[in-house]
Amino acid sequence: MEPKIIKTKDEMRAWSRSIRSQGKTIGLVPTMGYLHHGHLSLITQAQKHTHHVVVSIYVNPGQFAVTEDLSTYPTDFHGDIQKLKSIGGVDVVFNPHDLYDYGVNTTTTEDININNNNNNNRGETVSCLEGETRHETWVRVEGLEKGLCGKSRPVFFRGVATVVAKLLNIVEPDVAVFGKKDYQQWRVIQRMVRDLDFAVKVIGSELTREEDGLAMSSRNVHLSPQERDQALSISRALFEAKSAANKGEKIVGGLRRSVIESIEAAGGKIDYVEIVDQESLEAVEEIKNGVVVCVAAWFGKVRLIDNMEIDVL
């Protein structure tokens, strides 16, 4: 069955409230499109918890800095719809064109304009904005957003949290599912929902990997064959770190160095390798139960992230 495509906030709210009036529950899977099996696994997770599933497809300009890859972010709206049809069980695709008016003098305007001009694969463009006054409200999760990706992408999490808050307000789901590949993002959204009393349960779905171990990502398409092969060093280093921890390794510095050396030896450029508490995302002094090894590394022009939860018995 082909999902219903909704473009506007009013229509999306009307659909959700009609479903909820029938005593049915709604699950939301927020995406930026260019769907892969990792996204589809999130949908499967949402289906287990709710009667109806909404998938949002919205490339969010607010999470990209002026130097980042918004204009080249891959899109294939028609292909996304075909993938959703193939798995079934998706009732609505919410595909707004605009969710936030950045004005004409912001650092992201040039990228936004470039991206909108390249919008051929996203179907009809329908604005979700009202009025002519630019938006100026941002949602910040001040502690959790600072480390890891927040160090090199300082505007990323305010853009994510703000647009996710808007999606939750528009769709009004009972459950929202996020992938653990974007580990910090998942924790930021969990904290935002708790702190602001959103009536939604946030579920973290396990990271999905290719058969050879590479974490699934829409950005993988930009890797050359050689870079893709080199990028396998990330998952290999993470699995080796988990094995070492399970064998009794307690020293954070040694484990961290081994991960860095493995990735750099394969040609990767490290953004960060950190071992942090799974909930607070604060650095730990020793390997213990409930930590996660988080990695961001560049291969060519592609920045990849990955992580490995470690639960030492």
So which residues are the catalytic ones? Answer: 39
Query: Strand ranges (DSSP E) for 124-220?
Result: 175-179, 201-205
Instruction: Write out the E strands in 1-143.
Output: 4-6, 26-31, 52-57, 92-94
* Tokens 């396990």, located at residue: 206
- Among candidate residues 251, 244, 242, the one with its CA nearest the CA of residue 308: 242
Q: What does the angle CA 249 – CA 252 – CA 253 come to, to the nearest 5 degrees?
A: 115
Strands 269-277 and 291-299: antiparallel
One-letter identity of residue 260: I
Residue with tokens 């918890």: 49
| Beta strands per DSSP E along 22-158 | 26-31, 52-57, 92-94
What is the per-residue burial (b if ≥16 Cβ within 10 Å, else e) of 228-256?
A: bebbebbbbbbeebbebbeeebeebeebb
Which residues, 6 or more positions from 39, have their beta carbon under 8 angstroms from its beta carbon?
A: 29, 31, 55, 179
CA-CA distance, 210 to 304, in Å (whole number)?
A: 14
Letter string b/e over residues 31-47, b meaning 16 or more CB atoms within 10 A of that residue's CB: bbbbbbebbbbbbbbbb
